[in-house]
Structure 1
Amino acid sequence: MLKLKSLLLKAGCKQADLAKALNVSPATVAQIVNHGVWPKSLDELQLKQRICAFLEGKGMAAPSLTSVFEEVDQADIHERMNAVMAELGAEPGDLLKALESHQAESATRGAHPQNKPANVSSQEESMLLRKQALFPATRKHFSLFRDPFSDDAIQSHEDMYVSPDIRYVREAMLQTAKHGGLLAVVAESGAGKTTLMRDLEDRILRETQPILIIKPYVLAMEDNDQKGKTLKSTHIAEAIMAAVAPLEKPKSSPEARFAQLHKALRESHAAGYRHCLVIDEAHALPIPTIKHLKRFFELEMGFKKLLSIILIGQPELKTKLSERDAAVREVVQRCELVELAPLEGGRLEDYLKFKLDRMNKPVHEVIDSSGIDALRARLTVNTPRRDRPETVSLLYPLAVGNLLTACMNLAADLGVPLVTADVVKGV
């Protein structure tokens, strides 16, 4: 437990008040306050600063980041509780009895999940597995010579599973690259963003499209210089020049350099080429760089745009592209945002059938219908949010592949011919 909990009490605030101020779920705040577990999808330092600002706004003295988020000494807690109980006329030993009684009640409630509020963050962590691989004995058990869910299972565009949602995103990316535009592709980790980016490059080569794909290096890229290296507009300009006019020596002054860039793009366009800037991990772009993308997008020759832009990132990118943020409003007004949906409904079965068919293996020889239903249930979280139920789906290709691979390994170990609901529950 963090000292933050006692400070909230002193300020007369509930954890729900802090959750509302931070725009996160009460379960997320509970994980932070009680266990010091920070959400992976948000920047920890910024979250701490916002919490401190919230406490200051409630009349607390300006707290330091170190003191607020320190662990509370358990011995100190027991000493204080004993003192309180002594004031109430209880014996110090009564504290231990009360704690033991509370733990017993908690264990009883834990045996009945329906009496326990759902915690989306902890449930997600328990459902997602580390990278799994089929054991040799598993491949032999199911007569599979290759792992259908491994990274090298996709060798060409024919190995790509294409749902109606994926088909739309795939076409939107190609049309943006061919005809211009500003597109943001948003999806959870493991949803297939990298596969779509590879497919775009492969499709341009396969169809001999006169399009230059420009990809700035995003290694160690973060949205502030304290955590890593920020991608600035000058770095993007350098990447464009390296792709469009690699033999030209960059000018020394910024103004001359950008004029040189504009000239190089015009000459390349006159030669029949189109140019598409693709930025992967775009959720790590700093706000100033996102704002500057409008300047690149406005480079043109007559009515023709000289540069189209595709941003690919996790859901944090959608937050950064909020129309309520005045800093990026001009970019948002010009940007189409598309999201990759999870494999819900019948698409889960379609996906499994496609992946196993590519290995010449019928899906019904690996997993039965009860096993598919159990996979779907295992990767779906139902939780109450503000008096209404909310479903969080983790049915993305990476999570599905990892879970089914683990189930297949267990089925082979148990000697059962198929992955059933019982096998899924045993993982």
Structure 2
Amino acid sequence: MSARAGKAGINYSQNIPEIIPAPEPPDSLEAIEAAFNRPHAVTRRPYRRWTPKRIAELRRLKAQGLTWREIGARLGVRHKQALQTAYKIHVLGLPRPKPNRPRSEKKSARPPYWRWTMDEDRRLLEGARTLSNADLAKALGRTPNAVANRLYRLRKGIVMSYRGPIRLKKVLIGHGISLRKAADLYKREGLSYASISGICKHNKWPKVRGLKEHIVKVHKEKGLPHHDLFEPLKSGENAHEEEHEMLTKIHLSKKVLAHYGLARDPFVEPASRGEIFADGPFKAAVAHVVDAALNQRMLAISADVGAGKSTLFAYAKGELERAGVTVIEPSYVAMRKLHDGGIIETILRTFGARLKATRVGRHFQVEEVLRVEAEEGRPVALVFDEAHRLSDETMATLKRFWEMREGFVRFLGLIMIGQKLRGHLTGNTEFRELGERCQIVDLDRLDETRLADYLKFKLRLAGGQLA
């Protein structure tokens, strides 16, 4: 090896061996401490993952009673904290510690947004002629940025109209038609969900001709209200309110009953069949129910709140039992969660059948059980009280139950009793097949003539009479 001399005549290659030997593994404690005290390299060492082999070696070395420095020298880990963290996570199974980061200061709560009113817009436009945005913000209790943004929108004419909502929204909600389903109902270019939402909520119409005439035409075809659809709702009128609000029920006290010579409150719920006011329209609706059950038809009884739907079903149930009809009434605390599997299980339990383990097996089991009942001449009726509480998916599957047949003989009749079923079945495109095959009967409220007969009947049961 040739020697190289520097400027000062010093031989820098002196005592440098030809081959540099590899460093020996540290055996003594001094060598281990020297390895830990050695300064780090300029370049960062690559991170070595804790593989199962290294974790097993860490567990073995710790079980031998070695110190963290000795374990680090064996595994090639410099930092004691890294070893302790790896031992806690991978060996002891403890959760990974959270980083000790300084907590950021909580942001101040954002002030609530107050909708601009027509009076504020008027004051804003009048004051913008002489005042600055800062002065307007102080006068209106707003920020200067909010004032500038509102002025820009007012001058460009992009502020949404204050008119709305209109009566069309109340009609759709009252008949169980959502705004998204109304877009499928109208089927017209320019009547998407967004445009119908703007029409119903804000009276904002798209620039398409003939929309109002088309909406009125569709309402006439579907039997929905079509008068004054585009009039704004009156002040204080809510689009979600019922068309006929119920009166608060008043219970008569003992003092009032004694004054009029009544033995009991005549307007309590009927406790027996003889206490039901069964006049002509009521008996006609019951006859429809019995006929649908005996002839395996599909029937829907639609009525408002308090019109006597549950009383009608209780009265008709007795008629069905006397006619030899097996009444199956699937019910659930939360009717919206009732699905086809629950209906199948109710049918099988009614006939005492042992349920199959699989869902497909139960489906074929239901058909076999109903086929036997049909062959032996025993009619079956599937009745849903409070049918308006069923989900759309469950309502759509009811047609599949009604279509179970053997040739021309159906296995069961389907009877639905609920609120505003006419609009729900005929105005919803998802139930088009169900609505076309279903006979819908409306149970009207008591008119003046029927009300007088009703009062006479109830007072006579309580020991009184109508003056």
Aligned AA (1:276): A
Gaps of 5+ in 1: 26-38, 61-115, 223-228, 365-427
Partners of 1:173 and 1:240 in 2: CA distance: 19
Aligned equivalent of 2:260, options 142, 153, 177? 142
Displacement of 1:40 after TM fit? 9.1
Q: Is the 8 A contact 2:180 2:193 kept in 1?
A: no
Displacement of 1:130 after TM fit? 3.1
Partners of 1:4 and 1:154 in 2: CA distance: 56
Partners of 1:259 and 1:340 in 2: CA distance: 37
Displacement of 1:43 after TM fit? 9.6
1:182-235: per-residue Cα shift (whole Å, max 9, x none)? 000011111110011111222233x2x22111111132223xxxxxx2x21222
Paired residues, what number?
A: 277
1:318 corresponds to which residue? Answer: 422
> Which structure 2 residues correspond to residues 201-240 of structure 1 after superposition, within 5 A?
201-205=317-321, 207=322, 209-222=323-336, 229=337, 231-240=338-347
Q: Is the 8 A contact 2:298 2:439 kept in 1?
A: yes
Displacement of 1:333 after TM fit? 1.2
2:283 corresponds to which residue? Answer: 167
TM-score by length of 2: 0.52
1:417 corresponds to which residue? Answer: none
Say which one has the larger Rg. 2
Question: 1:10 aligns to what SS in structure 2?
Answer: coil
Q: Is the 8 A contact 1:281 1:314 kept in 2?
A: yes
Partners of 2:261 and 2:240 in 1: CA distance: 36
> Which structure 2 residues correspond to residues 4-403 of structure 1 after superposition, within 5 A?
10-12=159-161, 14-16=163-165, 18-20=166-168, 22-24=169-171, 53=194, 128-151=246-269, 153-156=270-273, 158-205=274-321, 207=322, 209-222=323-336, 229=337, 231-244=338-351, 246-252=352-358, 254-315=359-420, 317-322=421-426, 324-364=427-467
Displacement of 1:45 after TM fit? 11
Partners of 1:302 and 1:117 in 2: CA distance: 58
Partners of 1:9 and 1:141 in 2: CA distance: 67
Gaps of 5+ in 2: 1-112, 119-152, 182-190, 202-233
Identity among equivalent positions (%) equals: 28
Partners of 1:148 and 1:202 in 2: CA distance: 23
Partners of 2:307 and 2:285 in 1: CA distance: 12
2:205 corresponds to which residue? Answer: none
Displacement of 1:172 after TM fit? 0.4
Displacement of 1:145 after TM fit? 0.9
Displacement of 1:338 after TM fit? 0.5
Question: 1:184 aligns to what SS in structure 2?
Answer: strand
Q: Is the 8 A contact 1:178 1:274 kept in 2?
A: yes
TM-score by length of 1: 0.56
How has the CA–CA distance of structure 1 residues 347 and 312 changed in structure 2, closer, same or farther, with 3 Å as cutoff?
same
Structure with greater helix share of residues: 1
How has the CA–CA distance of structure 1 residues 250 and 351 changed in structure 2, closer, same or farther, with 3 Å as cutoff?
same
1:329-368: per-residue Cα shift (whole Å, max 9, x none)? 111111000111111131111111111122232111xxxx
